[in-house]
Amino acid sequence: MTFQADTICYQRLNEQIRACDAREIVVENLLGQRYIGCGSSGKVFRLYGTPGNGLGQYLDGSSIEVFGNAQDAVGDTMNDGEIIIHGSCGDAAGYGMRGGRILVEGDCGYRGGIHMKSYLDKYPVLVIGGSAGSFLGEYLAGGLILVLGRGAGGRVPVGGFCGTGMHGGSIVLRSDEAPAGLPRQVLVREASAEDLAAVRPHADAYCRAFGGSVTELLALQYYVLAPNPEAGYRQLYTYE
């Protein structure tokens, strides 16, 4: 089923989408309409244009592919499924994610992956192909944030305050040098072979979606950011 978004109000567009019984849904000419695919399961969305804030909020198993950029709060509190963005996204991507995976071909704005958490078989993953803004992984409680640094020329591909307050999960950065000025809650080390093996399925998914060789990509230098057990709030939470 194909919908033309154009200048239709986001509320009306979402009503039409929710009323559609088709498994595969195409929306063309998106002009910032919000909340596409929110809370859905068992659907496949192909979106053309620029979806607005809250794309795939509370997603529960659907697949969303965006051929363009996305705005803020992509995958907010998503529980399962996958979001693929052929472009960049705004702030707070993956806010409070509980499961599923987000693949961003380009850059991510501020506060990507904050409050992500994992429990039992739920393990959220956010992959950013380019660079991320400040406060990436703030209060991270579980899951994986992988920043591939494409286009960064080997420089640290994140802004300031990366991992502030993190107490679980991990942040893996492609960089020629370790990030400096990290908060006390964060420890950093060079990625081991085991670390790279763990991220390989997600790097491979990125390459399958956007092109490139996962072998060449993972042959570069990476650093792992992990919570410092002597600082922060880890003891207050359920964690891996």
Tell whether the model's pLDDT for residue 240 goes beyond 70. no
The Cα 140–Cα 85 span in angstroms is 22
pLDDT of residue 230: 79
Per-residue confidence band for 237, with pLDDT thresholds at 50, 70 and 90: low
For the segment 35-94, what is each residue's pLDDT rounded down to a tens digit?
999 999 999 999 999 999 999 999 999 999 999 999 999 999 999 999 999 999 999 999
Q: Where are the beta strands (DSSP E) in the chain?
A: 2-4, 24-31, 44-50, 60-67, 80-85, 101-104, 125-128, 141-147, 168-174, 186-190, 222-227
Q: Which CATH superfamily does the domain covering 88-236 fall into?
A: Glutamate synthase, alpha subunit, C-terminal domain (2.160.20.60)
Coarse DSSP helix, strand, coil percentages of the chain, rounded to the nearest 5 percent: 15, 30, 55
pLDDT of residue 183: 86
The Cα 85–Cα 112 span in angstroms is 14
Tell whether the model's pLDDT for residue 239 goes beyond 50. no
- One-letter amino acid identity for 128? I
Joined together, the tokens standing for residue 214 give 């996962």
For the segment 225-236, what is each residue's pLDDT rounded down to a tens digit?
999 887 755 555
The whole-number average pLDDT for the span 164-186 is 93
Tell whether the model's pLDDT for residue 238 goes beyond 70. no
pLDDT of residue 229: 83
Per-residue confidence band for 184, with pLDDT thresholds at 50, 70 and 90: confident
CB of 150 closer than 8 Å to CB of 129 = yes
